[in-house]
Amino acid sequence: MVYEEGGLSARYEGDECDISYKNTVTVDGSSLSWADCRHDAAKAHRAVTTGQRPMTATEKEDVRQALSTLHVGSRGSCGADVPIITLDLQAQGAMARYVDDFHSCMPDPDGRTFVMNLQELQTVLWQLLPAPNGG
């Protein structure tokens, strides 16, 4: 899942990344990996944070339940300063590519299918990540 932030944000000297960074969370079987842009108090700027860890049975079930709420459709909305959330879902050798329906006014969603409830899945996945260091 990719969470591409939008909106206006300054990039400060020393930042390794900014708010336009594409944050990525991957669930592969029973492990979780991530790459995101966070404020790092030890470095006093934004830095790319990566990691990987095993998932518990409860965490896998939480992700499965969040995935089960996704459904194809669109509320016909048009996002502005809201991040674009995409999901590449691979199962049994087939790949399906989705984008949050909040941006359904986009003329070409890059071959992706609009789905509802992708923000809820994103929330579940972000809760599995370690807390940011200082901010």
- pLDDT tens-digit profile of 107-133? 667 888 889 988 899 889 888 888 765
Helix (H, G, I), strand (E, B) or coil at 64: helix
pLDDT tens string 29-70:
788 888 887 777 776 778 888 889 999 999 999 999 999 999
In degrees and rounded to multiples of 5, residue 125 shows phi and psi of: -65, -40
pTM of the model: 0.76
**CB atoms inside a 10 Å sphere around CB 15:** 20
CA 118 to chain CA centroid, nearest Å: 9
* Spans of all domains in the chain: 2-127
